[in-house]
Structure 1
């Protein structure tokens, strides 16, 4: 299969508007430990220049067989090297964020067991790639990039500052059984986004409905790095009750809390300080199992989209979702 997406570099600076709180020294140490396990050939593929903006922006929700990734696939690393990759992610993310990485990988293993169109060739080692941009440091900028089918973790550090966006999470199917246990990789995001909309009155729901068209996928997914976000639409959060505002905050937290705890708390505080100027919106449908249900949070800094899309491998819908920071994607303010 050919490369289904064309990535065009956007010039990125290092002036991202981050509230700080990053555990950068710990993450840098784990990243250095991973890089130390690589031979010279692997290093040239994995440790790329921080100024290579096009590579830093090369991520996708498609499987790696459809859209080529930078770095090296987990399948081409030794068990020791893969352990070092996961140790690096574990210190960069919260416990929930790290578990979500594992669960999304499990969904690819599950898809692979189904076989047939849309399922062959998936897997937790085949579809997931890792790259490190720049020299990991407690003071100088560097980025960790990890992702594959339905996952993109772009973690950019610069001293105390950190960006976890662009962030893509998805799940096909939405839930499945592994060893007698139900795995639902995107349940925190899906449940809080749908709860936020379900709490609206009929008038509020009408005011929140997008009028600019229908949506069959995300507006600001991969390749959309120019900072040109759609015009703000929907219901202003300042008009909501305190209980409804808590549901908006819970939806935000489902995404932001994937980051290591201190930095996540500071980022969430930043977004909630802008809550009254934030809008929520929906299009198509609002049911958790309805096809094409689309929900959006659009703030001065934060942008989150969630959609139910048709599955190629199962008879049901599956999830796509993206979280971006308008002033801190890739640790940069340039796109906006």
Structure 2
């Protein structure tokens, strides 16, 4: 297996990033904890710095289990069997290659190079074998969301301008495998590109699907005569959760530490340190309002295969009264910089409407992390 450059624990790698095709604040950090402070990488786009802190990851994450590991192992091995030796060298990594495992982003791959092999470099049969892995690992809705996000890049290519003509459903997406697929030893399947990151770590019957990034630019478009809205489930549920609050609750849910023009715990934020909890405790909600919070979480956790997702949702629901919901900037579904957060003992979800460079409208960025199970790890160290 290939070993990429390893960074010492705690070392920081900084890369200068040219933003193209995404929103004007398509960076991966948010404002500092001071009111009305804008992202230093935001503004009108252009240059920005994405810092990645390389950490050592252990494999004892707090997964409730239920993984369909054997089926995933079979699908991964079938994909690897389609590759020649040169291709396998591009796909296979040591499981201990933590730096490579952390290399995911919402930036296009031309800006943040991905590990693995580009889908466009594969034959049609190989592409189908790679897609089959995701279809086994994810729920039908999760696999469909991936396909729709990739279609959005075809639409960006059609629109052109602002660098968008370099996108595509195959050109900007990469597949990598870390470790030897096994029902007893840890391994990871990594797939992603622009506006998509799937980091699926298996360890026996345990599974982690976080960090997970989904986004869409544009948010809605036509493909073969059908309207496609890749992140509709998440956006609808998150804004419904806020809309279900009364005026007093909404005020209590406001995040007052600052305003945000992008995600706080996006790519490169792997120290295991999350912001201090803010917002309204779910214990202060009615039963109907709690159902809206649960429904919002499920649009993310439910991307995993059904059995594992059900066990995971049971865990999150058991922690619901200790979970907070919050918002900042705006709360309208089409307002720029509307920011929503779900912050529990384990679950962390952020959603934001950010400015698009390629369309006159907003587009979506969202990250889902599990504080106790990112990369299948109880906590990076």
TM-score of the superposed pair, with normalisation by structure 2:
0.87
Match of 1:183 among 221, 225, 228: 228
Alignment match, 2:23: none
Residue 129 of structure 1 pairs with residue 174 of structure 2:
yes
Residue 50 of structure 1 pairs with residue 95 of structure 2:
yes
Residue 310 of structure 1 pairs with residue 355 of structure 2:
yes
Residue 252 of structure 1 pairs with residue 331 of structure 2:
no
Alignment match, 1:105: 150
Would the aligned equivalents of 1:228 and 1:335 in 2 still touch at CA under 8 Å?
no
Per-residue CA distance 1:249-300 (angstroms, 9 max, x = gap): 0000000100000000000110010000000000000000000000000000
Distance 1:193 1:10 in 2: 31
Alignment match, 1:172: 217
Residue 95 of structure 1 pairs with residue 144 of structure 2:
no
Please state how far the C-alpha of 1:9 moved relative to its aligned partner.
Answer: 1.8
Q: Number of paired residues?
A: 336
Alignment match, 2:308: 263
Distance 2:380 2:329 in 1: 29
Alignment match, 1:26: 71
Per-residue CA distance 1:101-153 (angstroms, 9 max, x = gap): 10000000000000111412000111100000000011110000000000000
Would the aligned equivalents of 2:53 and 2:271 in 1 still touch at CA under 8 Å?
no
Match of 1:162 among 207, 224, 236: 207
> Which consecutive unaligned segments of at least 5 residues does structure 2 have?
1-14, 18-48
Residue 275 of structure 1 pairs with residue 296 of structure 2:
no
Please state how far the C-alpha of 1:2 moved relative to its aligned partner.
Answer: 5.8
Please state how far the C-alpha of 1:77 moved relative to its aligned partner.
Answer: 1.0
Residue 86 of structure 1 pairs with residue 126 of structure 2:
no
Please state how far the C-alpha of 1:334 moved relative to its aligned partner.
Answer: 2.5
Please state how far the C-alpha of 1:335 moved relative to its aligned partner.
Answer: 2.3
Where do 1:136-151 residues align within 5 Å?
Answer: 136-151=181-196
Would the aligned equivalents of 2:53 and 2:269 in 1 still touch at CA under 8 Å?
no
TM-score of the superposed pair, with normalisation by structure 1:
0.98
Match of 1:228 among 273, 293, 306: 273
Distance 1:181 1:203 in 2: 41
Residue 243 of structure 1 pairs with residue 306 of structure 2:
no
Per-residue CA distance 1:75-115 (angstroms, 9 max, x = gap): 11111111110011100000000000100000000000001
Distance 1:212 1:315 in 2: 29
Q: Which moved more, 1:2-11 or 1:222-231?
A: 2-11
Per-residue CA distance 1:165-217 (angstroms, 9 max, x = gap): 00000000111011211100000000000000001010100000000011000
Where do 1:289-328 residues align within 5 Å?
Answer: 289-328=334-373
Please state how far the C-alpha of 1:39 moved relative to its aligned partner.
Answer: 1.0
> Which consecutive unaligned segments of at least 5 residues does structure 1 have?
none
Alignment match, 1:11: 56
Would the aligned equivalents of 1:2 and 1:67 in 2 still touch at CA under 8 Å?
no
